Amino acid sequence: MTGMDESYALEARDVTFGYVPGSPVLDRWSAGFPTGSMTALTGPSGRGKSTLLYLLGLMLHPGDGEVLLDGRPTRPLSDAKRAHLRAERFGFVFQDAALDATRTVLDNVIETSFYRADRRKEAINRALELLDLFGVDVPPRRKPGQVSGGQAQRIALCRALLNEPGVLLADEPTGNLDPVTTDLVVSALRDHARSGAAVIVVTHTPHVAEACDREIRL
Amino acid sequence: MNAGIIREAAASARSQPVASVVTVLMIVGMILAVMLTTGRTVGAEQQVLGSIDSVGTRSITVRADSTAGITTDVLDRIAHIEGIEWAAAFSAAVDATNAALSDGTRVPVRYLYTTQLDPLGISGTSALPGELAWASPMAQDRLGLPETAGGIALTNGASYAVTGSLDVPDFLARFEPAVFIPQPDAAGTEPVNILVVIAETPELVAPVSEAVSSVLAPEDSSKVTIDTSETLAQLRGLIQDQLGSFSRGLVLALLGLTGGLVAILLYGLVMMRRKDFGRRRALGATRSLIVTLLLAQTAILAVIGITIGTAASTIILRISGDPLPGLAFMGALGILTLATAMIAAAIPAIIASRREPIRELRVP
């Protein structure tokens, strides 16, 4: 399953992680995620799918083993360097969209540009393009609390795609969506994978898993 | 700190209007409390000290009989003494009248020996050095020289043109009505009748007085008297110490209280918004950026509060007729308040920066 000889954007190598000492959620787990492919992480609740996603997203440190980005180990990197990589190389779609309810839709989409110190005007133009592309037909100055769940998840997707990330991690991105929006989100993730990114999706939805290039069951 | 961080911090402050308004109000309240208590005391203190200073808390006056043998070369010796702000020697007074009114009112005229003419409003360069007289408005009035121009005739037969108006500082008020003839090219042998020395601070009056006394070199010391304001300087020091310690205690108490309240408010805010900070961390914000953002947000609110508080308290003090504490006090209070707010914000900011994304973003 791991195919270690392939060119991976992201790779977990013998990763062990647990929240409680002595009972690991992941035990010497390995897998590679090639560029240009979309991988589904499936399995029952509590098997560590989201934990694995956060490990791959450099938000958690494995207790043992290594996460490699472009073939390079990430363990020696400082917290600041890992944060910079998250802003530069990764895109994230969280389970409940995780938008800032106090800021506008547009502010939410361009949020990561601030962490990358990108030009604000260019980020706004790109954000408006993405909002249009994903059919978010709400005024960009509206607050997320005033939009539907489906639109919120599409806004989160726009935020994740703003920097055209090489790795896109999505944690149950279609969990609360209607079938039409689910298809739209899955299609966008697949298109992004086709453009050369490694896309990893945690999902419980068979329809979403089937749309992926491969499935890894935990 | 770049414009992007300030913009983001300002946007973040705007997005939490209640907490931002409460923070600003706390700062305004603190500034008002300090300005209307300590500020008022400091203003009164400065007024009292100013009144004491006006009678010469820093002055040393040496009076020498014409036979005492003190000459203008004493100024060269005094120039080597540390702690002197200003020094000048004056000749004995010679009566003078308006040259055009031989029976006009007489005023005393003195030759002035000093290189520090600025405090008197006398221009440092003169077309006719030593030949021009400067008269105070009171002297001009007595002489009948309303246009600050004309001539004076001295009883010793000399005459001079009056070309300028003299500013008489408080410590020379005893010379009024004053007419001085600056002598920039003194030979050092001219007899001195009065020597006035101003120490840099009231505390230096006693040591400077001793040092001046040691370089007078009179031929007959019994014909020399030295008057100092040492007693006044001591009184001034006592007033300053007592009012100062009261003010400092009150300011520290109010700063501590406000700092604590700001810290509690921000800590509550961080707890309420922990998901927000977790999301920011997950999306790529470094810990230092989170800390910088929260500190910048607090600084923006503190500056707004300081500005409003200072303006409001200034208006209140003006309306009530109380003395203002002065720009130095207000500036120091502003800086101290800003520093207190930043220190108070530091701990909540560090806590915010350490939110673990996975704990905040996972939906159970």
Reply yes or no on whether the pLDDT at B347 is more than 70. Answer: yes
Out of B283, B286, B361, closest to residue A112 by CB: B283
The model's confidence at residue A150, banded by pLDDT at 50, 70 and 90, is: confident
pLDDT of residue A3: 43
Structural domain count, chain B: 2
8 Å CB contact between B31 and B208: no
User: Do B82 and B145 belong to one domain?
Assistant: yes
Out of B283, B361, B363, closest to residue A115 by CB: B283
Range of the domain at B121: 59-229
3-state class of A148 per DSSP?
A: coil
Contact B286 A83 (CB under 8 A): yes
Write out pLDDT tens, residues A168-185. Answer: 999 888 877 788 888 888
B127 touches chain A (CB under 8 A): no
B272 touches chain A (CB under 8 A): no
User: Do B137 and B97 belong to one domain?
Assistant: yes
Contact A83 B284 (CB under 8 A): yes
* pLDDT, averaged across chain B: 84
Mean pLDDT of A32-52: 90
User: Do B8 and B63 belong to one domain?
Assistant: no
Domain end point (choices B191, B208, B229) = B229
Question: Closest Cα to residue A70, out of A117, A39, A34?
Answer: A34
The model's confidence at residue B19, banded by pLDDT at 50, 70 and 90, is: confident
Residue B54 Cα distances to A204, B204, B227, B329, B354, angstroms:
87, 17, 16, 21, 59
Write out pLDDT tens, residues B85-133. Answer: 999 999 999 999 988 887 888 999 999 998 888 888 887 666 677 778 8
Contact A100 B281 (CB under 8 A): no
User: Do B7 and B95 belong to one domain?
Assistant: no
User: Do B100 and B206 belong to one domain?
Assistant: yes
- Residue B154: beta bridge partners? B96
For helices B230-272 and B274-283, angle between their N-to-C axes, nearest 10 degrees: 80
User: Do B225 and B267 belong to one domain?
Assistant: no
Write out pLDDT tens, residues A112-149. Answer: 999 988 888 999 999 999 999 888 888 878 888 888 88
The residues of A whose Cβ lies within 8 A of any Cβ of B are 50-51, 54, 57, 59-60, 79-80, 83-88, 90, 92, 94-96, 98, 100, 102-103, 107, 111-112, 114-117, 120, 159
Contact A50 B287 (CB under 8 A): no
| Ranges of H-type helices in chain B | 3-15, 17-34, 40-54, 74-78, 137-143, 205-215, 230-272, 274-283, 287-320, 327-353, 357-361
B-chain residues within 8 Å CB-CB of A83?
Answer: 281, 284-287, 289
User: Do B278 and B298 belong to one domain?
Assistant: yes
Contact B284 A87 (CB under 8 A): yes
pLDDT of residue B49: 74
What residue segments make up the domains of chain A, in order of their start? 8-217
Q: How far is B286 from chain A (nearest CA, A)?
A: 5
Write out pLDDT tens, residues B218-268. Answer: 777 788 888 876 666 677 777 777 766 666 777 778 778 877 887 787 788
Domain end point (choices B229, B258, B289) = B229
User: Do B206 and B279 belong to one domain?
Assistant: no
User: Do B66 and B28 belong to one domain?
Assistant: no
Preferred mutation among B12, B293, B361 to probe A, highest tally of A CBs within 10 A: B361
Reply yes or no on whether the pLDDT at B270 is more than 70. Answer: yes
pLDDT of residue B219: 79
Contact B357 A54 (CB under 8 A): yes
pLDDT of residue A1: 41
- Kindly report the pTM of this predicted structure: 0.66
pLDDT of residue A151: 87
The model's confidence at residue B43, banded by pLDDT at 50, 70 and 90, is: confident
Out of B282, B289, B356, closest to residue A92 by CB: B282
User: Do B198 and B343 belong to one domain?
Assistant: no
Count of C-beta atoms within a 10 Å radius of residue A44: 9
User: Do B113 and B220 belong to one domain?
Assistant: yes
Q: Which residue of B has its CA nearest to A88?
A: B284
Rounded Cα–Cα distance for residues B253 and B338 (Å): 15
CATH class of A8-217: alpha beta
Out of A54, A102, A111, closest to residue B283 by CB: A111
User: Do B172 and B309 belong to one domain?
Assistant: no
Rounded Cα–Cα distance for residues A14 and B193 (Å): 99
Reply yes or no on whether the pLDDT at A109 is more than 90. Answer: yes
Contact B361 A86 (CB under 8 A): no
